């Protein structure tokens, strides 16, 4: 069995998550995110600890963790690369990007031997106006091209800072798993307000002086 990093501090934090909800089981999903941030995978130890804290069986915890695609059964790499492969992104170039990255990393939906990258095809990530889209640790890398993808991997491999098009500077997949567990990382002020495509309509409206009608008197 793989080593687990879950310690007293983790257990304390798992309890903090439970305290957010009127029923402890509601905390299951953020708890699983936290376990991943600590162990890099939904570890056996994590399953045991959650089952005990919540008061359900290990099978019940596993039943939930295997349902959701973000919970990994095998250890994830330092960075998670999700290439959108649903129709629109795929057609706009997502398929080509996936093939290129897969060839370069030598993995097809899996983790590189050095533990640097986990590559996955992801389903529509709600950024279709920025297609084709790649998610790095669930941060948006919009309007990707083969050149940009090459540079992205070069920079990540070299440990150079990478700024998403809409998000906070990339650190690691595990750091963001902690964020998804509800532990704020203090980085909301990083990144833009909105990307270019998000502003397409509002900019045209500003140019033309278009607006909603004036409201009635208060």
* Site for another protein, residues 22 to 51, rule: CB under 8 A: 22-23, 25-30, 32-33
**135: enclosing H helix or E strand:** strand 134-136
53 binds another protein (CB under 8 A): no
- Residue 160 burial (10 A CB sphere; 0-12, 13-18, 19+): exposed
52 binds another protein (CB under 8 A): no
204 binds another protein (CB under 8 A): yes
Q: Which of 105, 127, 152, 162 binds another protein (CB under 8 A)?
A: 127
- 75-94 mask for another protein (x: CB under 8 A)? -------x--xxxx-xxxx-
Interacting positions 2-21 with another protein (CB under 8 A): 20-21
Nearer to another protein, 114 or 178 (CB): 178
Rg from Cα positions in the chain: 20
Report the alpha-carbon distance of residue 72 to residue 82 in Å, rounded.
13
Tell which residue, 22, 20, 146, 6, has the closest CA to residue 83: 146
169 binds another protein (CB under 8 A): no
Identify which range of 1-9, 108-116, 152-160, 161-169 contacts another protein by CB under 8 A.
161-169
Nearer to another protein, 3 or 23 (CB): 23
Q: How many residues bind another protein (CB under 8 A)?
A: 87
Nearer to another protein, 56 or 116 (CB): 56
Pairing relationship of beta strands 117-122 and 79-84 according to DSSP bridges = parallel
Contact 40, 78 (CB under 8 A): no
Enter the tokens of residue 196.
């270019």
Interacting positions 170-199 with another protein (CB under 8 A): 176, 179-182, 184-185, 187-189, 191-199
Q: Which of 40, 46, 119, 140 binds another protein (CB under 8 A)?
A: 140
**122: enclosing H helix or E strand:** strand 117-122
């Amino acid at each position: 069995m793989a080593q687990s990093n879950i310690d007293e501090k983790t257990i304390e934090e798992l309890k903090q998550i439970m305290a957010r909800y009127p029923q402890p089981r509601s905390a299951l999903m953020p708890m699983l995110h936290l376990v991943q941030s600590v162990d890099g995978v939904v570890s056996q130890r994590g399953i045991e600890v959650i089952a005990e804290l919540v008061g359900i069986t290990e099978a019940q915890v596993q039943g939930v963790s295997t349902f959701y695609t973000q919970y990994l059964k095998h250890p994830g790499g330092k960075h998670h690369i999700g290439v959108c492969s649903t129709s629109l992104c795929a057609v706009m170039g997502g398929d080509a990007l996936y093939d290129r990255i897969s060839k370069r990393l030598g993995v097809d939906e899996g983790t590189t031997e050095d533990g640097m990258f986990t590559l996955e095809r992801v389903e529509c990530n709600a950024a279709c106006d920025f297609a084709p889209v790649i998610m790095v640790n669930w941060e948006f890398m919009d309007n990707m091209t083969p050149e940009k993808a090459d540079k992205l991997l070069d920079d990540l491999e070299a440990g150079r800072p990478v700024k998403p098009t809409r998000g906070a500077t990339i650190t690691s997949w595990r750091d963001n798993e902690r964020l998804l567990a509800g532990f704020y990382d203090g980085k909301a002020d990083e990144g833009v307000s909105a990307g270019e495509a998000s502003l397409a309509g509002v900019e045209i409206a500003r140019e033309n002086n278009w607006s909603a009608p004036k409201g009635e008197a208060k």
